[in-house]
């Protein structure tokens, strides 16, 4: 019997730091909620989510979130009320802050959060205190605001992603998330305002303390004390509440949509691809290969020539992201001279000193690039968050597309928060189409972690020895990481994105470890030469020319799924995003074969991907069982799905 050398946690989500936290289900009158590690999540009345999460945050001068160390935790849980007490020490760099928290849930449907904190050192902060997340489902709903100057106003949670704060100077807010339910929030100890966190692909609006139009960072003196309170009240609720639990069901449309151009980024860790890695990568039909060329750096020519050679070997078109200084005439002429013989599919223009390329730069560069690369699509936007493009909306004159990048870890870093970001990826595309209706939207790249911090106000802390770089996440090598990619693909494809670039080829941010990885590391426990499960997702999805059948899962936080045609074969991938096994109902007689990827065959599949993909599939019924974090690959050839055959004729 084979004994796996990788731990279950490594296969599930990369390492022990991403282990799901212990939770407690609590009740306060008609409120039901979940407590975990200092946070109150999913505050509901019946099936209606009132609040996504209430938590406290300490953020330093660079907007880095300081991880709390919880102690003296006490959870008193009764039938219809509760009390939670705990302390948090926030320590990183110069920051040293100690806070004591009390959360009291009452039978009348009120929950009070209290923080008493003290600075144990002198440090700079951008924020200290409570944050309230409102689920994105309140978009379009009216909210009454009582301001700190005693004035009142009424406005709506924005339907499309708002570039700026929709509500400011808040003392109290009241809203009705659904008919018959009214809730309110009261804030003391600081001034609060609301921002649209969908800008960073959070599935929420956030009401937080300390308005952003005040100067920051702020110096906190040693010994300074901070007191805050937030009170949530249920003002109105029906006498009888429904608690429906629907079966997990995967459904597909009979219409098809085109598969967008799906590409991959060049490795930022591996200098030259090994033969074995090239063979594995050539087996995936990526539409393009993104290379970043910083024309103001002295070694850019070397990077460019190596990337062109790799693209030619791999058989992929080039997506070139050129990063340019505003004074750039020599840079551009040198690039044109060197690159004019290469086959370039797309060109992205980014400005060195700006989050969004200026109109001045675009007017300067576009005529030259269009003249020398007439077959390339040329676009711009931001190499950072959607927020930057939303706040600095480019005129799309003479551009072939707009672009921005996505990562799910700007504000929260746990598995469940990453799952929540998946739906919000589609919101960014829908909102971009609303303010730029006549131009394609490209997303490049999608990564699990932020590549760099565009909002840092000071020097970034050096990488600590025996720690992973900030841009690396061990979930890249895991089943969870592959499942997250399935959800990202579904939401971006079905929102109508024209092209999307994912991850990198080789390394800790790639789709395979690479044969040059020297040894299995405890920090990033990938096995040299192995592929990651996400490689198998792209290999299965990107066969010949394909199209997508818009699909839905009744609970996409539990299971994500993608359905598509590859040639004359109907395929689907389902991914369990949670640590508990589930059963999923499939459309009747749509699939007849399946292959499961879970912890029992993880190592065999990632070390011998060819054998895994070639192995016989098992017979599939209309109900499929998914172990924790497992993926299932479903197939059915054209003859077995005659009720979908009309779509093939349209392709």
Choice between 494 and 568, residue whose per-residue pLDDT is larger: 494
pLDDT above 60 (res 479): yes
The HSE-up count of residue 501 (CA atoms within 13 Å, CB side) is 27
Residue 277 backbone dihedrals phi, psi, to 5 degrees: -70, -40
Please give the Cα distance from 347 to 453 (Å, whole number).
23
Least confident range from 18-32, 37-51, 178-192, 635-649: namely 635-649
Q: Give residue 98's pLDDT.
A: 98
CA torsion angle 206 210 213 217 (round to 10): -120
Please give the Cα distance from 278 to 512 (Å, whole number).
11
For residue 39, what are the β-bridge partners? 36
pLDDT above 80 (res 640): no
Percent of the chain with pLDDT over 90: 83
Q: Give residue 239's pLDDT.
A: 87
Q: Give residue 271's pLDDT.
A: 80
Dihedral sign (CA 335, 337, 339, 344): positive
Long-range contacts of 192-195 (CB under 8 A, 24+ apart): 193/165, 193/167, 193/168, 193/169, 194/134, 194/165, 194/166, 194/167, 194/168, 194/170, 195/162, 195/164, 195/165, 195/166
Query: What does the pLDDT look like over 593-615, one tens digit per residue?
Result: 999 999 999 999 999 999 998 87
Write out the two tokens for 95: 């920051």
Residue 52 near residue 42 (C-beta atoms within 8 A): yes
Q: What three-state secondary structure class fits 456?
A: coil
Is beta strand 441-446 parallel, antiparallel or unpaired with respect to 401-406? parallel
275 contacts: CB under 8 Å, gap ≥ 6 = none
For residue 500, what are the β-bridge partners? 262, 443
The secondary element (H helix, E strand) that includes residue 485 is helix 479-494
Least confident range from 449-463, 506-520, 545-559: namely 449-463
User: How many angstroms separate the Cα of 13 from the Cα of each of 274, 573, 638?
Assistant: 27, 19, 36
Query: What does the pLDDT look like over 338-397, one tens digit per residue?
Result: 998 899 999 999 999 899 999 999 999 999 999 999 999 999 999 999 999 999 998 878
The rounded Cα 509 to chain-centroid distance in angstroms is 14
Is the bond into 445 cis (omega within 30 degrees of 0)? yes
Q: Give residue 643's pLDDT.
A: 37
Task: Band the pLDDT of 292: cuts 50, 70, 90.
Answer: very high
Is beta strand 569-576 parallel, antiparallel or unpaired with respect to 559-566? antiparallel
28 contacts: CB under 8 Å, gap ≥ 6 = 80, 81, 82, 105, 106, 107, 109, 110, 111
The rounded Cα 553 to chain-centroid distance in angstroms is 18
Average pLDDT of the segment spanning 13-24: 92
Task: Band the pLDDT of 637: cuts 50, 70, 90.
Answer: confident
Query: What does the pLDDT look like over 166-200, one tens digit per residue?
Result: 999 999 999 999 999 999 999 999 999 999 999 99
Neighbours of 353 (CB within 10 A): 9
pLDDT above 90 (res 462): no
Least confident range from 6-10, 210-214, 240-244: namely 240-244
pLDDT above 90 (res 464): no
Name all domains of the chain by residue range, CATH numbers in brackets: 13-236 (2.70.98.10), 254-545 (3.20.20.80), 559-650 (2.60.40.1180)
Is the bond into 430 cis (omega within 30 degrees of 0)? no
Q: Give residue 544's pLDDT.
A: 64
What mean pLDDT is reported for the chain?
92
Residue 48 near residue 64 (C-beta atoms within 8 A): no
Least confident range from 92-101, 385-394, 535-544: namely 535-544
């Amino acid at each position: 019997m084979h004994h796996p050398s990788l731990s279950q946690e490594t296969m599930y989500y990369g390492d022990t730091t991403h282990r799901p936290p212990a939770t407690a289900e609590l009740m306060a009158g008609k409120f039901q909620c979940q407590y975990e590690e200092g946070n109150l999540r999913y505050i509901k009345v019946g099936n209606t989510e009132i609040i996504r999460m209430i938590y406290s945050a300490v953020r330093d001068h660079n907007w880095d979130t300081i991880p709390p160390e919880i102690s003296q935790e006490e959870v008193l849980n009764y039938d219809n009320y509760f009390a939670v007490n705990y302390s948090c020490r926030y320590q990183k760099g110069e920051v040293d802050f100690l806070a004591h928290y009390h959360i009291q849930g009452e039978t009348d449907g009120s929950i009070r959060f209290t923080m008493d904190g003290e600075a144990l050192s002198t440090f700079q902060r951008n924020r200290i205190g409570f944050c309230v997340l409102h689920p994105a489902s309140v978009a379009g709903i009216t909210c009454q605001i009582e301001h700190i100057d005693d004035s009142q106003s009424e406005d709506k949670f924005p339907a499309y992603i708002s570039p700026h704060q929709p509500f400011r100077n808040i003392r109290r807010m009241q809203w009705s998330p659904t008919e018959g339910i009214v809730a309110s929030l009261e804030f003391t100890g600081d001034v609060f305002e609301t921002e649209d966190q969908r800008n960073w692909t959070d599935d929420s609006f956030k009401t937080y303390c300390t308005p952003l139009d005040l100067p920051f960072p702020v110096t906190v003196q040693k010994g300074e004390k901070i007191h805050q309170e937030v009170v949530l009240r249920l003002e109105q609720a029906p006498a009888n509440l429904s608690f429906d639990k629907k079966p997990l069901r995967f459904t597909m449309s009979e219409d098809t949509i085109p598969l967008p151009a799906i590409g991959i980024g060049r490795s930022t860790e591996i200098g030259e691809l090994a033969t074995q890695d090239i063979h594995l990568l050539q087996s995936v039909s990526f539409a393009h290969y993104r290379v970043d060329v910083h024309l103001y750096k002295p070694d850019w020519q070397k990077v460019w020539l190596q990337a062109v050679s790799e693209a030619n070997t791999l058989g992929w078109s080039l997506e070139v992201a050129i990063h340019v200084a505003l004074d750039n005439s020599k840079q551009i002429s040198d690039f044109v001279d060197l690159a004019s013989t290469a086959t370039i599919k797309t060109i992205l223009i980014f400005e060195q000193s700006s989050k969004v390329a200026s109109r001045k730069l675009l007017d300067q560069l576009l005529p030259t690039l269009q003249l020398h690369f007439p077959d390339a699509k040329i676009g711009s936007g931001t190499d950072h968050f959607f927020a930057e493009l939303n706040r600095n909306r480019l005129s799309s004159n003479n551009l072939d597309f707009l672009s921005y990048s996505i990562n799910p870890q700007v504000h929260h870093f746990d598995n469940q928060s990453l799952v929540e970001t998946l739906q919000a990826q589609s919101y960014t595309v829908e909102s971009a189409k609303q303010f730029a209706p006549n131009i394609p939207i490209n997303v490049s790249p999608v990564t699990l972690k932020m590549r760099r911090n565009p909002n840092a106000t000071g020097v970034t802390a050096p990488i600590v020895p025996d720690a992973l770089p900030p841009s690396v996440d061990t979930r890249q090598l895991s089943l969870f990481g592959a499942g997250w990619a399935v959800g990202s693909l579904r939401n971006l494809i079905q929102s109508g994105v024209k092209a999307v670039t994912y991850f990198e080829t080789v390394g800790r941010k790639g789709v395979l470890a690479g044969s040059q990885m020297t040894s299995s590391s405890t920090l990033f426990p990938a096995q040299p030469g192995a592929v990651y499960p996400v490689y198998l997702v792209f290999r299965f999805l990107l066969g010949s020319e394909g199209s997508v059948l818009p699909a839905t899962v009744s609970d996409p936080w539990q299971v994500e799924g993608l359905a598509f045609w590859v040639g004359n074969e109907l395929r689907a991938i389902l991914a369990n995003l949670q640590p508990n096994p589930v059963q999923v109902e499939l459309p009747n007689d749509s699939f007849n074969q399946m292959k499961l990827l879970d912890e029992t065959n993880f190592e065999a599949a990632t070390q011998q991907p060819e054998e895994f993909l070639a192995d016989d599939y098992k017979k599939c019924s209309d109900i499929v069982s998914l172990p924790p974090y497992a993926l299932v690959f479903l197939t059915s050839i054209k003859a077995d799905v005659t009720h979908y055959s009309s779509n093939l004729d349209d392709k």
